[in-house]
Structure 1
Amino acid sequence: MNRFLNDPDTFVKESLEGLAAAHGKVLRVHQDPLYVHRVDSPVSGKVGILSGGGSGHEPLHAGFVGRGMLDAACPGEIFTSPTPDQIVEAAKAIDGGNGILFIVKNYSGDIMNFEMAADLVRAEGLRVQTVVVDDDVAVKDSTYTQGRRGTGTTVAIEKICGSAAEAGYDLPNIGALGRRVNLHGRSIGLALSSCSPPATGRPMFALSEKEVEFGIGIHGEPGVERVSAVSSDEMVSRLVESLLADQDYTRKSHAWDDGSESRVEVEETDQAIGEGDRVLALVSGMGATPLAELYIVYRALAEHCVGAGIRIERNLVGNLVTSLDMRGVLITLVKLDEEMLGLWDAPVRTAALQWG
């Protein structure tokens, strides 16, 4: 298929060079090892916020680098984890003296490489804590994970923790805040078509015009069920019902304690999203879904929330967490408290998000 593509081997590199050329007042791209960092990093006295993962999910993560969000992002190749040396060098580049928070989506490769990088960074005297995002209600385990996958709640954690760092929070408090946001966030996605990685140009799975893939992952992996296509309102209804029916409210939040060499699991309990709760609602296209269709999805989501007694306090609609050129949608609900709401509203200046 036709693409704006020169060479699959240079796809990520050239895309990031274009990002830097377009947003040079906000971010820089460092080559060898590859990472993206704030133009003013390191910021003295501030906790550094670092995330990353495979490319193909833009604007996640590099598009969220800037004041009020990420200090650095480490992009891997398409759907491939960044390497430990990328993460280590990015962490050192943004170290302002008060430690680094790693925000990691729960995929096996990301977990392994960020854990290795955390050990290496600690060996050089830096303090590190980690928040693992595991918000996808579609699966309990998958080919790529042990436990739930990390998807749309990543955006909320990056923004809220980034604002907390700007406000002067210390590392333990930012880590605890990030884990709290994760426990309050739930996501689920649906695909109308597969994505096609640049290296092959072929869809990763086949769907007829009369089928949809329910519960897809963001790496092009098929969903948990293939069902007949129905109206948009009916598809959204099923997605929202899956979010609201989720009964796994005791969740494992993964972290590496400050100064510890080993991974520690902290079990916390969260109440269900229920009547009267205030939420942040994210409706993300998967890369090739027209914005007009995303607003049709949001219309149905808003109606469902009203019916459930849930108040959408804040929202974002657009491409946030994508899967290359997939046609589909990812819906995320994050239960908000006053602290999280204030930090979400705080000023942000990145390539993809700007307000305040």
Structure 2
Amino acid sequence: MAYPAKKLIDDPNDVATQFIEGLVETYPGLQYLDGFPSVKVVLRSDVTGATYDKVAVISGGGSGHEPAHAGFVGEGMLTAAVCGDVFASPPVDSILAGIRAVTGPKGCLLIVKNYTGDRLNFGLAAEQAKSEGYKVEMVIVGDDCALPPPRGIAGRRGLAGTVFVHKIAGAAAAAGLSLSDVFAEAKNACEIVGTMGVALSVCTLPGQFPSDRLGPCKMELGLGIHGEPGAAVVDLHPVDYVVSHVLEQILSAETHYVPITRGSRVVLMVNGLGATPLMELMIATGKAVAKLQLEHGLAVDRVYTGSFMTSLDMAGFSISIMKADQAILQRLDAPTKAPYWPVGVDGNRPPTKIPVPVPALQSKKSEEHLENVVQKN
């Protein structure tokens, strides 16, 4: 007899709201709009729309991808995040409420992942906001590199590379740029990032039964962040092989998903999908950096490892690669108070391996011993 998956929840239909309540209690820089039940908007507690003197950067989508999107709200990143129910696009009224709450005279930028519901609802909210006098621009992130370009009804899906777009646009807005300039930087970021995911298990929605789509010795390549089928179900392989396959897919010269060629500078994100231990993510990161440098001839300027855009309790990871230059690095290194953007990653990377230090006295004794051996022989 099958049973629903074990979850630490009360009501499966109220998990998004209860997540937000815990989030804003944890971080004093965040608050949420208190309105009718469908409004699930997390915003910066220091921003009031009527008086905000910078471009507001707003993103969002279905819940279940925590810490995305609400965990990236903070000075230097998102101004607000609009949350839908689990794997469901937020309604138009909720998005519009978010726009009204944080958008000042300089306008707002909407960052939207390429899914039909998100594009439709954010697009409708943008049009209504414009009719009310707000300045609004929107960028669509489609960083998926799993499926060949002709496949998929909506085109390339929005995945973890979206978090890079959040950071770059948020830093540009914090620097005081105009809406057109923030939009341009965000659009450029969308065009230079690629992502592919690999899963060992399919996620289980709150209150639902676990899926048996993947057997005990199978893995899925290129599935979506909502558990949508990917490019292929294959036998389980060692992480070295998996990382090689993913990197080759993202950097393929045939599909040309990203404008990255040998000699380019890049930044790397290894993103856990919700149930992958940090140990395994770090193993994948070590493999990925070495392969990017030695096999693909790329300079890896920044490395981000952790859980940024998850799929509930899915086991697996995604890899995102973005082409880098000094301007991109400056935006990624810019300070932010968003609680889930990783600290300690900014700055140039020193050599990762150094010799074990030997005490001076011990080193001198070793040299004298070697000289004695040479003299005796």
Distance 1:141 1:79 in 2: 25
Distance 2:150 2:33 in 1: 35
Q: Is the 8 A contact 2:52 2:102 kept in 1?
A: no
The Cα of 1:193 is off from its aligned counterpart by: 0.4
1:146 matched to which residue of 2? 154
Asked if 1:224 corresponds to 2:224, the answer is no
Of 24, 38, 41, the match for 2:47: 41
User: Alignment partner of 1:186: what SS?
Assistant: strand
Q: Is the 8 A contact 1:66 1:348 kept in 2?
A: yes
1:319 matched to which residue of 2? 307
2:365 matched to which residue of 1? none
Deviations 1:267-296 (Å, cap 9, x if unpaired)? xxx7x3111211110000000000000001
Asked if 1:30 corresponds to 2:11, the answer is no
Q: Is the 8 A contact 1:193 1:327 kept in 2?
A: yes
1:257 matched to which residue of 2? none
Distance 2:266 2:177 in 1: 23
Q: Is the 8 A contact 1:137 1:246 kept in 2?
A: no
Q: Is the 8 A contact 1:37 1:65 kept in 2?
A: yes
Distance 1:343 1:39 in 2: 23
Task: Give the unaligned 5+ runs of structure 2.
Answer: 347-377
Asked if 1:236 corresponds to 2:240, the answer is no
Q: Is the 8 A contact 2:67 2:308 kept in 1?
A: yes
Task: Give the unaligned 5+ runs of structure 1.
Answer: 252-269
User: Alignment partner of 1:67: what SS?
Assistant: coil
Asked if 1:12 corresponds to 2:16, the answer is yes
2:287 matched to which residue of 1? 300
Aligned residues: 333
Amino acid at match of 2:6: N
The Cα of 1:209 is off from its aligned counterpart by: 2.1
Q: With structure 1 as the length reference, what TM-score do the two structures score?
A: 0.90
Distance 2:62 2:150 in 1: 19
Q: Is the 8 A contact 1:279 1:333 kept in 2?
A: yes
2:194 matched to which residue of 1? 186
The Cα of 1:202 is off from its aligned counterpart by: 2.3
Deviations 1:24-68 (Å, cap 9, x if unpaired)? x22102133220000111362100000000000111100000011
- What pairs with 1:330-341 in structure 2 (closer than 5 Å)? 330-341=318-329
The Cα of 1:309 is off from its aligned counterpart by: 1.2
Higher-Rg member (1/2) = 2
- What pairs with 1:1-356 in structure 2 (closer than 5 Å)? 1-23=5-27, 25-31=28-34, 32=36, 33-42=39-48, 44-139=52-147, 140=149, 146-203=154-211, 206-245=213-252, 247-249=254-256, 272-307=259-294, 308-353=296-341, 355=343
Q: Is the 8 A contact 1:348 1:354 kept in 2?
A: no
User: Counting strand residues as a fraction of each chain, which structure ranks higher?
Assistant: 1
Closer, same or farther: CA 246–102 of 1 in aligned 2, 3 Å: farther
Distance 1:206 1:52 in 2: 28
The Cα of 1:354 is off from its aligned counterpart by: 5.5
Distance 2:158 2:90 in 1: 16
Distance 2:151 2:127 in 1: 26
Distance 1:354 1:234 in 2: 27
Q: Is the 8 A contact 2:53 2:105 kept in 1?
A: yes
Distance 1:246 1:215 in 2: 18
User: Stretches of 4+ moved more than 3 A in 1?
Assistant: 140-143, 246-249
Amino acid at match of 1:21: E
Q: Is the 8 A contact 1:141 1:148 kept in 2?
A: no
User: Alignment partner of 2:337: what SS?
Assistant: strand
Distance 2:99 2:253 in 1: 36
